[in-house]
Amino acid sequence: MSQSPKNPLSAKLPVPAEPRPSREEAERAVHTLLQWAGDDPDREGLRDTPARVARAYEDWFSGYAEDPEEFLSRTFEEVEGYDDMIVLKDIRFESHCEHHLAPIIGRAHVGYLPNNKVVGISKLARVVEAYARRLQVQEKMNAQIAHCIQKVLEPKGVAVVIEAVHQCMTTRGVHKTGVTMVTSSMHGEFRKNPLKRREFLSVIGNPSSSMDG
Ligand SMILES: [Zn+2]
């Protein structure tokens, strides 16, 4: 995949047009939404909700403060010539769809074919986490994870498969439950070599059967 200079997958975030609002402003916005939903934001049960929502946002969207490329910067080269596939499967994540702010719950499977450089396996999970804790669409998140690993580790191949349930689809709109979206990004050997790709897919198991739903 060739990269244009204005790469939408870059780990660098777009510069916001306006400065970050204060926590007070954020809480006021939640207050307005509660009112708009039809409730009384000043009743006892809802009084602390704007503050709770603001704190929850800090957790759900903590990925904006992280640089996933940095997680991969410390590598090991002493792997006794190990040059076969390394796979971390079933990395559970929680994200939010950027269209409805509804949860996206799923698992990512990440594999790469090292080119001398190997990372601590937990670092792959941290990369998934950093991108998940942002507003996302599944296809974009999938491509961002693969691109980040490709860019920093420069492996012979990268494979990323994501299976997820989108609550904007299960709890509203078409109300389709039990529907899992599966996306994949394959780079290098995993794209060129069907045998390697098949090996990866068999290691992660049949993507559509490993979800809780
Ligand atoms: Zn959505």
Q: What is the tens place of the pLDDT at every residue in 106-149? A: 999 999 999 988 999 899 999 999 999 999 999 999 999 999 99
pLDDT over 80 at 213, yes or no: no
Which pLDDT value is given to residue 10? 60
Which pLDDT value is given to residue 16? 76
Query: Given 136, 138, 144, 150, which residue is catalytic?
Result: 138
Ion ligand 1: residues, CB within 5 A, are 97, 99-100, 168
Contact 119, 151 (CB under 8 A): no
Which pLDDT value is given to residue 82? 80
Which pLDDT value is given to residue 11? 61
Look up the pTM and report it.
0.88
Average pLDDT of the chain to the nearest whole number = 90
Which pLDDT value is given to residue 7? 56
Contact 146, 187 (CB under 8 A): yes
| Beta strands 181-188; 157-166: pairing state | antiparallel
Query: Given 97, 148, 150, 189, which residue is catalytic?
Result: 97
Instruction: Give CA–CA dist 157/159, Å, rounded.
Output: 7
Contact 128, 142 (CB under 8 A): no
Please list the residue range(s) of the chain that carry CATH number 3.30.1130.10: 70-208
Instruction: Give CA–CA dist 139/162, Å, rounded.
Output: 9
98 in active site? yes
Top pLDDT among 172 and 61 is at 61
100 C-alpha vs ligand 1 centroid, how far in Å?
A: 4
CATH number of 70-208: 3.30.1130.10
The three-state secondary structure class of 82 is coil
pLDDT over 90 at 76, yes or no: no
Q: How far is CA 212 from CA 20, 60, 107, 112, 192, in A?
A: 37, 21, 10, 26, 32
Dihedral sign of CA atoms 188, 191, 192, 195 in order? positive
97 in active site? yes
Instruction: Give CA–CA dist 93/119, Å, rounded.
Output: 20
109 in active site? no
Q: Which of 108, 209, 102 is nearest to 166 (CA)?
A: 102
170 C-alpha vs ligand 1 centroid, how far in Å?
A: 10
